[in-house]
Structure 1
Amino acid sequence: MGVNLKPEHREGPVARAIEEQTAKLPSDIFLWVGIGFMAVSAALQIAGRKKESNFIAHWPTNILLMGLYNKLVKLQGHD
């Protein structure tokens, strides 16, 4: 009667290597780097460098998503 409800999915070698390395980083580092890029973007906007500001303004979202992924891997574990 032992039904395994958890599907058996394995990560590939690249994802496993990335998870092992990013698991070594504290989760809040992603938060602070994201906030830092927001501050740099705002400073560039104030300085009138709008193209550079808009370019850097796209980075925080990606950094924060990587931090979220990092946190989920730490909480849920990986294979």
Structure 2
Amino acid sequence: MTDYRVAPGEAQEDQVTAAIEKFTSQVPSSVYLAAALASMAVSVSFKAQKKTDMALFIGQWAAPFLILGLYNKMVKQHGSDAAINKPL
């Protein structure tokens, strides 16, 4: 059976990904958590105003904000090309 896994240092990210990660790694992780909580609060307020469609639309933003926060945290801890950038 063939092993298709990528070994550390075998693949590199492109310049666009590196530029995005350099910019987003400067954003504190709490910003993403605050954005998720704010979207939930706004969703509840729309629900209280009986604007159900808008409440559902905005309420669904919480999960992507939390996923972006996880990605941000992983980039800060490991980087995209962590195996290549580590000193020998």
| TM-score using structure 1 length | 0.86
| Aligned-pair CA distance for 1:13 | 2.0
**Residues 17-76 of structure 1: per-residue CA shift (max 9 Å, x gap):** 110110111111100111000100011011100111111111111011000000001011
CA distance in 2 between counterparts of 1:14 and 1:6 reads 20
CA distance in 2 between counterparts of 1:68 and 1:46 reads 30
1:61-72 aligned at under 5 Å gives the runs 61-72=63-74
1:38-77 aligned at under 5 Å gives the runs 38-77=40-79
Which runs of no fewer than 5 residues in structure 1 stay unpaired? none
Q: What RMSD over aligned residues (CA atoms) do the two structures have, in Å?
A: 1.2
| TM-score using structure 2 length | 0.78
Runs of 4+ in 1 over 2 A off after TM superposition: none
Length, aligned pairs only = 75
Aligned-residue sequence identity (percent) comes to 36
Secondary structure of 2:72's aligned partner? helix
CA distance in 2 between counterparts of 1:6 and 1:19 reads 19
Match of 2:32 in 1: 30
